[in-house]
Structure 1
Amino acid sequence: MSGIVVVFDFDDTILDVDSDNWVVDQLGFTHLFNQLLPTMPWNSLMDRMMMELHSHGKTIQDIEQVLHRIPLHPRVIPAIEAAHALGCDLRIVSDANMFFIDSILKHLGIREYFSEINTNPGYVNEEGRLRILPYHDFNKASHGCTLCPPNMCKGLIINRIQDLISQEDNKRIIYLGDGRGDYCPSLRLKENDFMMPRKNFPVWNLICKDPLLVKAEIHGWSDGEELEQVLLQLINKISIEENAQLISSDCKLQTLSVSAHKALPKVLPIRP
């Protein structure tokens, strides 16, 4: 299924929780997080929280151990494995960070299934502290989108993916997400694409206000089991349509070939 690009959000989509909240809560810093939340953007707050964790003696290994026990629905990994086995191009567009995502995917054994991860940079500095930086450096310039947080416009990322795959014929996108940040990319999808919003989450509620604004087909899902069912049904639907187009093309070529053969002038045998 080389003609299908499946784009996953990460938190509350592949995972059943938000990885940022999970790390902060599990390491006992919820109260400080809630105190600081009204004072700065989320992405900047997470960088600050990593500084606080480090200053209180929490190590990178402590963070990794917490990430390795993060909850996810048991059918999500089989869904990803099946989509990959069917030849889909799997990508992630997430407002989490590279360190969290890499750690979790490697632990689950599925990191190599994803051709691309678009997220906020996250790395361990020379002091052994985790740094989390914005995908778009909003201190230098705004990304110009009023729908998205200052550090990341997922719509711009989808536009870039669309530009890359437009060079290849009949590429179609299936986008899965849950949050407010997934609304902007849903508006950038095309008519032959598919949007899979998580039911009763922010992106679902935003789409339901005016579904006609989304050009792509909308297919909701509520949990990992339904995610697997809907995703594989859509992949199968696209596969059937692609096969039908190939058969139709073959039939047309055969018809043209027969017509051309009939149109050739008949050459009469020469009498001796």
Structure 2
Amino acid sequence: MSNIVIIFDFDKTIIDCDSDNWVVDELGFTDLFNQILPTMPWNSLMDRMMIELHSHGITIEDIENVLHRIPIHHRIITAIKSAHALGCDLRIVSDANVFFVETILKHLGISECFTEINTNPGYVNQQRRLTIMPYHDFNKASHGCTNPCPPNMCKGLIIDRIQDTVSELDNKRFIYLGDGAGDYCPSLRFRERDFVMPRKNYPVWDLICKDPSLVKAQIHAWNDGEELEQVLMKLINKIMIEGNAKFISSDCKLQTLSTPVFETLPKPLSIRP
């Protein structure tokens, strides 16, 4: 296991669309969705849409089949598998829902690459209808974030929790990838030694560009799946090279300090600078 933690958003980052919109559009409920959209928060709207789908005879299997057709750039799958093979700790922080995310990852054959999925809960009830709930129950209390986070999820708070669970002794370095306005708050949580990968010309990129100095982490933008793979693998390689260099440097210092003085004094020509 390396010292690299890679945290992915899901919609328009791993997959190349919004999974909520994809399901609604592919099943023919776009007009109803747009009609209800102004009346409630997005997360609540998606639960309402699952009720509507069920009432019109749409089954869980129908939803799964639609999710299996989700568009994704093939280089992103390669990037995820490569990062996992190198020992990186891969996690997801997404404002989708666990049913959509797990169904897609399993279909793509990459579910085992991730150690943790943080997203809105979703389960199939006794009536075989998908129920979607908020990650933060905003009906009870606000998450209190002043950044542009939706009421049901502050990704910054999730990042705080992940960072708190990582020991300082492990010397972990983070790479965060995202596209939406909700990815701005977590981007502010990282240190100078970490990396943020915003999708260029998407909401998170626009927010960062307003004042890049607010983001302490190093910023590396990307446009599509091919560029995501290129940038991500370069950053992984950079961190590993720096880690190896630090290890070699520390090892050399340790060997120098442990060398007995009486062994070096008679052999001045053997002393290395």
TM over 0.5: yes
Specify the alignment match of 2:269 in structure 1.
none
Specify the alignment match of 1:181 in structure 2.
182
Specify the alignment match of 1:35 in structure 2.
35
**Counterpart AA for 2:53:** L
The C-alpha deviation readout for 1:27-51, integer Å capped at 9, x for no partner, is 0000010011110000000000000
Secondary structure at the residue paired with 1:75? helix
**Counterpart AA for 1:208:** C
Distance in 2 of aligned mates of 1:23 and 1:86: 34
Q: CA deviation at 1:169?
A: 2.3
User: 2:171 matched to 1:170?
Assistant: yes
Distance in 2 of aligned mates of 1:24 and 1:146: 30
Distance in 2 of aligned mates of 1:142 and 1:150: 7
User: 2:94 matched to 1:94?
Assistant: yes
Distance in 2 of aligned mates of 1:69 and 1:168: 43
**Counterpart AA for 2:95:** D
**Counterpart AA for 2:85:** A
**Counterpart AA for 2:213:** L
C-alpha RMSD of matched pairs (Å):
1.2
Distance in 1 of aligned mates of 2:262 and 2:124: 72
Q: CA deviation at 1:118?
A: 0.1
Which runs of 5 or more structure 1 residues have no equivalent in the other structure? 267-272
Distance in 1 of aligned mates of 2:97 and 2:7: 16
Q: CA deviation at 1:168?
A: 3.8
Q: CA deviation at 1:263?
A: 6.6
TM-score normalised by structure 1 residue count? 0.95
Specify the alignment match of 1:210 in structure 2.
211
TM-score normalised by structure 2 residue count? 0.94
Specify the alignment match of 1:50 in structure 2.
50
Distance in 1 of aligned mates of 2:221 and 2:152: 27
**Counterpart AA for 2:82:** A
Specify the alignment match of 2:223 in structure 1.
222
Secondary structure at the residue paired with 1:188? coil
Specify the alignment match of 1:66 in structure 2.
66
Structure of higher CA gyration radius: 1
Q: CA deviation at 1:165?
A: 1.0
Specify the alignment match of 2:237 in structure 1.
236
Distance in 2 of aligned mates of 1:196 and 1:157: 18
**Counterpart AA for 2:231:** V
Q: CA deviation at 1:111?
A: 0.5
1:58-137, aligned counterparts within 5 Å? 58-137=58-137
Q: CA deviation at 1:213?
A: 0.3
User: 2:139 matched to 1:142?
Assistant: no
Runs in 1 of length 4+ with deviation above 6 angstroms? none
**Counterpart AA for 1:65:** N
Secondary structure at the residue paired with 2:140? coil
Q: CA deviation at 1:167?
A: 4.3
Specify the alignment match of 2:26 in structure 1.
26
Distance in 2 of aligned mates of 1:168 and 1:120: 31
Secondary structure at the residue paired with 1:96? strand
**Counterpart AA for 1:211:** P
**Counterpart AA for 1:262:** V
User: 2:134 matched to 1:158?
Assistant: no
Which runs of 5 or more structure 2 residues have no equivalent in the other structure? 266-273
**Counterpart AA for 1:79:** A
Specify the alignment match of 1:270 in structure 2.
none
Distance in 2 of aligned mates of 1:111 and 1:254: 43
